[in-house]
Amino acid sequence: MAFPAILRSQSPSSVIHLAVIGCSRNAKGGPGRGSGLAAELAALSNVEVAAVCDVDDRNLAPVQKEVAAKSGGKEPRGEKDFRRLLEDKALDAVVIATPDHWHTPAAILALQAGKNVYVEKPCCHNPQEGEWLVATARKQQRLVQHGTQRRSWPAIKEAIGRLRAGELGRVLAARSYYFNDRPTIGHGKEAPPPSWLDWSLWQGPAP
């Protein structure tokens, strides 16, 4: 679990109070990225997942139960609108695992509310959003960590260290590949928003 920056923002003996924003389920009904992070973080001794948030009513109860199972039975608060969580002075940080178009806006609002932020990839849609995020973090004097966990893996850090030390000689080119067998999401049809989804809040800043 790569979450060092925010965890180091407090003394080692103190408990970090977190909210996880975006707790979708995967296609098979199991934990998605946000709900998986919530469960992993809840298992840490110095972390309390105090709240979970999702615009889909169906996602809250499962993740609340998963967090309770990992944290000794204490169930986190559930919210539909993440802005209510930002008003909570007891929260130290938020984890953002929403759909991509909400990543930068939610992160900036959280920073302005005095929270440290862990935001999943991609942290922004374009360089301007990234610059706004960096500027806000500096202005608010808060920490932001982006979810590129592989950069924290020991083997990757060792490889980069060897590369920079010149052990590989002069590197002229590098190629990287990523393959994943993911099913199609299909083609949508116009329909009224379902009762369990806050469509306006899901859409948020997207056109």
Instruction: Provide the residue ranges of all domains of the chain, joining segments of one domain with +.
Output: 4-152
Residue scoring higher pLDDT (8 or 142): 142
pLDDT of residue 2: 46
Token duo for residue 23: 């707790």
Please give the backbone phi and psi of residue 82, each rounded to the nearest 5 degrees, phi first: -65, -20
pLDDT of residue 3: 53
pLDDT at 1 over 50: no
Confidence of residue 185 (pLDDT cuts 50, 70, 90): confident
pLDDT tens digit sequence for 107-119: 999 999 999 999 9
CATH architecture of the domain with residue range 4-152: 3-Layer(aba) Sandwich (3.40)
Token duo for residue 138: 């500096």
Radius of gyration of the chain (CA): 19
pLDDT at 163 over 80: yes
Residue scoring higher pLDDT (176 or 47): 47
In this prediction the pTM is 0.84
pLDDT of residue 102: 96
Confidence of residue 153 (pLDDT cuts 50, 70, 90): confident
Convert 27-58 into a string of H (helix), E (strand) and C (coil): CCCCECHHHHHHHHHHCCCCEEEEEEECCEHH
Sheet of 144-146, strands arranged across: 77-79, 47-53, 16-21, 93-96, 116-119, 144-146
